[in-house]
């Protein structure tokens, strides 16, 4: 399978410039993933990355340094830009929460972050199936894209098409002008890293965690997320984070295009089941979860509650209310200066901190990335067929 032609065919032209988590966020996700890798997996990843350390006291290589590669090359590989996000047609938080919209997602089928995860995983499966373990430029790029796309999918504003994922919405954070997207991919993360309790500046009594840290500025944040989150309050949720619904439980309404649902009315479900029996899973509309999900890998299923955060919290309702809404001006007059909403407040940033929103999103991203990488590269274990992580 050829890597560039495959994803170039899925690319969307005229893509707005958006980033997922900033560099620290993506590296945090990659570090959490590496902590959860099975021991047989990292050597294969290092082979793909063409890098191996000779220091016996540190891992052979790290995922964190490649986590932002896909952002760095977006202007060189412009076809890849649309694979960093997804936007439902008609989605407009907080008024309307659609995922997908009535007419699916914007762009071409598969030309989004869910399709990017699906296709990069498939490319790496092909590399594994070849069985020679040799270095491959194709596998190298696919792995770097996959590490990045799993992070992007867990950034809520990458799952809504409104106002370029918040890039067009001006706000302030700690008194400085920014935009909603930047507040989430950088400023909230920076504040979370900066305010970690001092106790996490010191090594934890857990070699699996400490061995995979690199002395980065966010090490204390990773320790907190792992110790209090993954090994603490979310310990019983990790298996669920990796679970995909059975194909038969996926919503039947997405098995036919919207026009067919309208035409067949109450018979749509029966017609859809007939189409499924005749054509298998070959006939879906642009919004179909079946384009992306199966019983092992289900980025659509995983991303649904992340998208819902846009309407519950991420997108401030005050943006669409006076005095922050952009009201029109009288003909011939200049538009009045509109005040900007401050987000570094107890009502907004305080809720994000209190509910551990960032911590949980990054933990989920890291655990799922580890699960996918283990599934791809782990030496076969009898009875193991789905996603698992090393805890």
Mean pLDDT of 242-259: 58
Task: Report yes or no on whether pTM surpasses 0.75.
Answer: yes
Choosing from 71, 163, 219, 285, the catalytic residue is: 71
pLDDT for 103 = 86
Element (H, E) at 116: helix 113-130
pLDDT for 333 = 47
**pLDDT bucket at 11, cuts 50 / 70 / 90:** very low
Sign of the CA dihedral with 322 first, then 323, 325, and 327 last: positive
pLDDT at residue 142 is higher than 90: yes
Mean pLDDT of 87-107: 92
pLDDT for 268 = 45
pLDDT for 21 = 65
**pLDDT bucket at 278, cuts 50 / 70 / 90:** very low
Choosing from 79, 92, 105, 152, the catalytic residue is: 152
Mean pLDDT of 319-346: 73
Q: What is the largest CA-CA distance in the chain?
A: 75
pLDDT for 384 = 65
Is residue 84 annotated as a catalytic residue, yes or no? yes
Lowest mean pLDDT among 57-71, 111-125, 143-157, 327-341: 327-341
pLDDT for 272 = 44
pLDDT for 186 = 95
- Return the CA Rg of the chain: 22
Is residue 21 annotated as a catalytic residue, yes or no? yes
Q: What is the percentage of the chain residues whose pLDDT exceeds 70? A: 80
Choosing from 38, 84, 154, 223, the catalytic residue is: 84
Q: Is 267 exposed, middle or buried (0-12, 13-18, 19+ CB in 10 A)?
A: exposed
**pLDDT bucket at 78, cuts 50 / 70 / 90:** confident
Domains and CATH numbers, the chain: 3-245+293-324+339-377 (1.10.575.10)
Is residue 71 annotated as a catalytic residue, yes or no? yes
Choosing from 26, 36, 92, 223, the catalytic residue is: 26
Sign of the CA dihedral with 306 first, then 310, 312, and 315 last: positive
Mean pLDDT of 67-92: 91
Choosing from 38, 62, 92, 158, the catalytic residue is: 158
Residue 280 φ/ψ region, left for φ over 0, alpha for ψ in the -120 to 50 degree band, beta for the rest = left
pLDDT for 385 = 65
Is residue 152 annotated as a catalytic residue, yes or no? yes
pLDDT at residue 274 is higher than 90: no
Mean pLDDT of 190-212: 97
End-to-end CA distance of the chain: 34
Is residue 301 annotated as a catalytic residue, yes or no? no
Per DSSP, which regions of 99-189 are E strands? 170-173, 176-179
Choosing from 185, 219, 285, 293, the catalytic residue is: 185
Choosing from 36, 92, 148, 164, the catalytic residue is: 148
Is residue 91 annotated as a catalytic residue, yes or no? no
Is residue 181 annotated as a catalytic residue, yes or no? yes
pLDDT at residue 93 is higher than 60: yes
Choosing from 38, 62, 74, 368, the catalytic residue is: 74
Choosing from 118, 154, 181, 307, the catalytic residue is: 181
**Which tokens go with 342?**
């401050």
pLDDT for 110 = 83
- Say how far apart CA 375 and CA 384 lie, in whole Å: 9
pLDDT for 168 = 94
**pLDDT bucket at 282, cuts 50 / 70 / 90:** very low
Mean pLDDT of 17-32: 81
Decide the pairing of beta strands 176-179 and 170-173: antiparallel
Mean pLDDT of 114-121: 96
Task: Look over the chain and give the mean of its residue pLDDT values, rounded to a whole number.
Answer: 84
**pLDDT bucket at 391, cuts 50 / 70 / 90:** confident
């Amino acid at each position: 399978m050829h890597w560039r032609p495959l994803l170039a065919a899925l690319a969307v032209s005229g893509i707005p410039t958006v980033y997922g988590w900033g560099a620290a966020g993506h590296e945090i996700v990659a570090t959490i993933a590496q902590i959860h890798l099975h021991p047989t997996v990292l050597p294969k990843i290092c082979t793909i990355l063409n890098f191996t350390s000779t220091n016996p006291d540190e891992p052979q290589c790290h995922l964190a340094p490649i986590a932002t590669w896909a952002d760095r090359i977006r202007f060189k590989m412009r076809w890849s830009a649309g694979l960093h996000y997804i936007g439902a047609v008609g989605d407009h938080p907080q008024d309307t929460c659609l995922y997908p919209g009535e007419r699916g997602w914007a762009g071409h089928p598969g030309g989004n972050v869910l399709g990017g995860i699906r296709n990069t995983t498939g490319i790496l499966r092909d590399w594994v199936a070849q069985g020679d373990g040799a270095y491959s430029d194709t596998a190298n790029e696919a792995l770097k894209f996959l590490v990045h796309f799993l992070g992007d999918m867990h950034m809520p504003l990458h799952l809504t098409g409104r106002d370029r994922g918040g890039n067009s919405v001006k706000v302030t954070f700690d008194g400085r002008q920014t935009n909603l997207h930047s507040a989430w991919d950088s400023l909230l993360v920076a504040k979370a890293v900066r305010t970690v309790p001092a106790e996490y500046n010191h090594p934890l009594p857990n070699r699996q965690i400490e061995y995979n840290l690199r002395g980065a500025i966010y090490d204390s944040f990773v320790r907190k997320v792992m110790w209090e989150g993954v090994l603490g309050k979310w310990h019983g949720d990790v298996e669920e984070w990796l679970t995909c619904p059975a194909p038969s439980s996926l919503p039947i309404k997405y098995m036919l295009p919207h026009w067919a649902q309208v035409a067949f009315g109450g018979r749509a479900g029966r017609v859809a089941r007939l189409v499924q029996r005749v054509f298998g899973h070959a006939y879906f509309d642009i919004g179909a979860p079946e384009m992306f999900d199966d019983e092992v890998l289900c980025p659509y299923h995983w991303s649904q509650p992340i998208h819902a955060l846009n309407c519950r919290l991420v997108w401030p309702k005050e943006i669409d209310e006076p005095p922050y809404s952009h009201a029109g001006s009288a003909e011939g007059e200049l538009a009045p200066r509109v005040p900007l909403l401050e987000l570094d407040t107890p009502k907004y940033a305080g809720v994000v901190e209190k509910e551990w929103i960032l911590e949980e999103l990054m933990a989920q991203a890291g655990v799922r990335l580890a699960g996918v990488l283990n599934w791809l590269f782990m030496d076969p274990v009898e009875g193991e067929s789905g996603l698992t992580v090393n805890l």
